[in-house]
Structure 1
């Protein structure tokens, strides 16, 4: 079993809400004024569900967020852009919020002795820190990032390489993710089966829709039924 991380095992928007609270705790005394809802909207728009915006002039999403926070907030005593970047890098993983049903499905898969790995695009240190902050390490045989692999979803080579490292044939792997193209179609093009977690992206009409779920609890119920 392969799981995406953001908006699959974690809830990105709720994680940003928690980060906003941390940000205000650490920086509010240096701001003239700030509206938490506006701050959440600024970060969410820049983050775009963990995918960033097309044409982003910065090297990463976190760099874009740090730049906008530095330029657009009403600072009394502004920290450097580098300090804001460092704050996001070290604080955001600790603000991660589990997707409802995440522990339930991971616990069920462990009971059934089914190996689980996480496959996520992004910086390896932040991926690992998020997994550790949420206590997911004990459920996973490995945590793969595009940074570590030098391969990125939806490239089919990414999924095939991970399956090879795990010692599992691609056709015996199931990928669960929220993004139709990056997670689902990418996995299918590599010979894996895939389940789409609805609610975060629209399904592109050019592709036939796969098995889909609205919640991870539905996946847990399916595996329990399969066992029985």
Structure 2
């Protein structure tokens, strides 16, 4: 590749861990909130929320609304015969507060971002999610001042692995595909999606998953520090 000018990082499960732990905790918190708010009528809200989430994902595959917890809550409450308008946003707030509470920034990530900037390398977070939620995460993780650009699927209009989001990241950073590198935990979304845009990838396989059958080549790291060490060889 040409001289490295930009590194694109996924956010969830790449710059912090673990989204899954926060998601599980969020369901527990929402069920408690629903029963406190609606009494017996709120029982089973966690299951209704999950069902709504799956329904929206099936109805609008790869589209940003499938990440909107307010929409999940609205659909869930309506399916339960409850008035969604006064309560859906609160349910979503309960969900996200629980997720935020479980976030832990990857060891070495803040320092490595500072190191990248010291070498004149731009940083973009390229993520499937709504902009305001990802901004809040970056603020809470202490990373908001360490990145140059946030690129969300909400802004791009479609989720990774569609190349549109990677093209937008390159335009923001003012780089060509061979001047950029993508780092992410999802082989399909991050590595293969970046590859389709001509960008090399690093698969942060911190859960030690079996490598998918693919002709796409990439460096495989098992923790953030290993990924950082590899990127240093490209300075």
Alignment TM class, shorter chain as reference: 0.7 to 0.9
Unaligned runs of 5+ in 2: 1-6
**Superposition deviation, residue 91 in structure 1:** 4.1
Unaligned runs of 5+ in 1: 73-77
Judge conservation of contact 1:93–1:133 (CA < 8 Å) in 2. Answer: no
Cα distance change, pair 70–2 in 1 and its aligned pair in 2 (3 A):
same
**Superposition deviation, residue 161 in structure 1:** 2.5
Equivalence map 1:38-117=2 (5 Å): 39=46, 53-55=57-59, 60-61=66-67, 62=69, 63-64=71-72, 66-68=74-76, 71=79, 80-94=83-97, 95-96=99-100, 97-98=102-103, 101=106, 103-113=107-117, 114-117=121-124
Aligned to 2:165: 158
**Aligned counterpart for 1:207 among listed residues 215, 220, 226:** 215
Aligned length: 217
CA RMSD across the alignment: 3.8
**Superposition deviation, residue 195 in structure 1:** 0.8
1:7 and 2:10 correspond = no
Greater shift, 92-101 or 132-141, is seen at 92-101
Judge conservation of contact 2:49–2:75 (CA < 8 Å) in 1. Answer: no
TM-score, normalization: structure 1? 0.73
TM-score, normalization: structure 2? 0.71
- Give the distance between the partners of 1:210 and 1:43, measured in 2 at CA: 36
**Superposition deviation, residue 99 in structure 1:** 5.1
**Superposition deviation, residue 47 in structure 1:** 5.6
**Aligned counterpart for 1:171 among listed residues 148, 169, 178:** 178
Cα distance change, pair 175–124 in 1 and its aligned pair in 2 (3 A):
same
Judge conservation of contact 1:46–1:64 (CA < 8 Å) in 2. Answer: yes
Aligned to 1:75: none
Greater shift, 4-13 or 216-225, is seen at 216-225
**Superposition deviation, residue 211 in structure 1:** 1.2
Paired residue secondary structure (1:80): coil
**Superposition deviation, residue 110 in structure 1:** 0.9
Greater shift, 182-191 or 109-118, is seen at 109-118
Paired residue secondary structure (1:144): strand
Greater shift, 90-99 or 164-173, is seen at 90-99
